[in-house]
Amino acid sequence: MSEPCSRIRVRVWEGIAVGIGYKTSWLAVPGGDSEQVADALGLLTRVTMDWEAGTQAAYRRGVFVASPVDGWTLAHGRVHLPVGVEDSGPSLLSWLRSLGQRLGDFQYFRTDRICEYHAWARVEAGQVVRAYCYDGDVPLRLGEPTEIERQLGVGIRGAEEGRASWNESDWDDWYAAMPSERHVMAIARHWGICPLDIPEAPPAGDGIYGIPAGAE
């Protein structure tokens, strides 16, 4: 089993995270390039930025699409990548499917321990084959848990019927099977790339920072 990413490798400059770490959402696209991903996301008012400036800016507003790192193109936006899309349910799935028609294969992650929101999804050949979201409940669960999810013991339980009759022990067991930020990072690592493992100054060129349509 892959070990969870437990060490925070995100630098902080004047209180702002430098790099892609916790409390954000991101896409991981195998292959491709930053221009292709920026086009798929419909980013406007684009500016070329290096890794440090771009990831720092995206923790405030907008989206930064980095140049490829280890064969992956990452797109990071702290609040949420799609504008006007709910955190879970039909609108999120619709956005993932729409993006899948443009990118083919990609992965989506989001984690925020403050509001206890943790989600991940895998899109293959334009189809959402796996998606799971926890926001205090489980409003989204699509597809079968992957190997790493089963090893970690998360992504398996949903909003089962009959919970009105659960006792305290039942609820404890249910909450124990819910994901945390470390689980999201471990899944990202096992699926391909964990943001926390990226060096502070990755050996890559400049990326693209922009604002999603509707957020200008």
In a domain, 216, yes or no: no
In a domain, 214, yes or no: no
pLDDT in tens, the chain (216 residues): 333 333 333 344 344 445 788 889 999 999 878 999 999 999 999 999 999 899 999 998 899 999 999 999 999 987 556 655 666 677 788 889 999 999 999 999 999 888 888 999 999 999 999 999 999 899 899 999 999 999 999 999 998 888 889 999 999 999 999 999 999 999 999 999 999 998 777 766 899 999 987 665
In a domain, 195, yes or no: yes
Domain encompassing residue 43 = 11-209
Cβ distance 95 to 71 under 8 Å? Answer: no
CA gap 122, 144 in Å, rounded: 11
In a domain, 114, yes or no: yes
In a domain, 3, yes or no: no
In a domain, 201, yes or no: yes
204, 201, 203, 207: which is closest to 46 by C-alpha? 207
Domain count, the chain: 1
In a domain, 6, yes or no: no
CA gap 216, 214 in Å, rounded: 6
Q: Cβ contacts of residue 49 below 8 Å, gap of 6+? A: 57, 64, 206, 207, 208, 209
pTM: 0.87
Alpha helices in the chain (DSSP H): 34-41, 51-58, 90-103, 147-152, 168-176, 181-191
